[in-house]
Amino acid sequence: MSSIKASKQLLRKDVMSKLNSLPYQDIIDQSIESLNVLQRLNIFQKSQNVGIFMSMDTEIQTQLIIKESFDLGKNVYLPHIANINKLDHNNIKLFKKEPMYLIFYQMDNYESVLNLEPIGKYKLKEPTKGQDLLDELTGNTPLDLLIMPGVAFTSKLDRLGHGGAFYDDFIKRHLIKFGSKPFLLGIGLDVQLVDSLPIEKHDEPLDGLIIKNQFYNNE
């Protein structure tokens, strides 16, 4: 294991320990603060097609963001983890070694989100069907905004994920299909903001970051 990867693993372990110690009410309070910041952002107000991660108990609770997005008439896309080796036909090029990758499915309404069943390693509610944003034939609408999870972030807009390169890969495939990237917005809890992160070439930087009631960007 390289020194950078080892440093990432140590940092993940440290931050996850802090997250597991946070009272759930604190997570809810910070989630509400972050939603209030998001609502005021021009990029959120003008975005019609929004990708949003489904949160674990120790993350910002994105159900609030999902409901707000539907209430504003936005098109909401949620992630599903798929295995490229189980496809009948494979025209997908991944930018990662492992066969697991993200599909973003469009959801019909907020009720359809509530009815999703928890699946996978993290027992997250995931859609398993719908309009695939990057489908070779029927995917014709790029995301305007992608709200991304992370284990840790910096105010300089670096992001440390869980190590699967799911989002880095998805962003690169989005760029190839549509010729553009969505606005990449990280959102996290206060213990996830760190001074610096070990960064590798494939790590996608953020365009913006919300931590509690603060918004960080490059301006």
Does 143 carry a binding-site annotation? Answer: no
Mean pLDDT of 98-103: 94
In the predicted structure, residue 200 carries a pLDDT above the cut 60: yes
pLDDT value of residue 89: 61
Confidence at 1, pLDDT banded by 50, 70, 90? low
* Number of independent structural domains in the chain: 1
163 is in an annotated binding site: yes
Each residue of 55-81: b (16+ CB within 10 Å) or e? beebbbbbebbbebbbeeebbbbbbbb
Q: What is the mean pLDDT of residues 95-115?
A: 95
Q: Is 12 annotated as a binding residue?
A: yes
Using alpha carbons, select from 208, 166, 211 the residue that is nearest to residue 47.
Answer: 208
Provide the pairing of β-strand 100-106 with 75-83. Answer: antiparallel
59 in a labelled binding site = yes
Residue 167 known to bind ligand? yes
- How many helices (H) and strands (E) the chain has is answered by 6, 11
| pTM attached to this predicted model | 0.95
- Which structural domain, as residue segments, surrounds residue 185? 3-217
Residues facing 156 on adjacent strands: none
Can you tell me the mean pLDDT for 14-34?
97
Q: Which residues pair with 187 in a beta bridge?
A: 210
pLDDT digits (tens, 9 = 90+) for 158-190: 999 998 999 999 999 999 999 999 999 999 999
51: CATH: 3.40.50.10420
CB 39 within 8 A of CB 68: yes
Structure tokens at 219: 């301006």
Known binding residue 61? Answer is: no
- 9 labeled binding residue: yes
**Could you tell me the pLDDT band of residue 205, with boundaries at 50, 70 and 90?**
very high
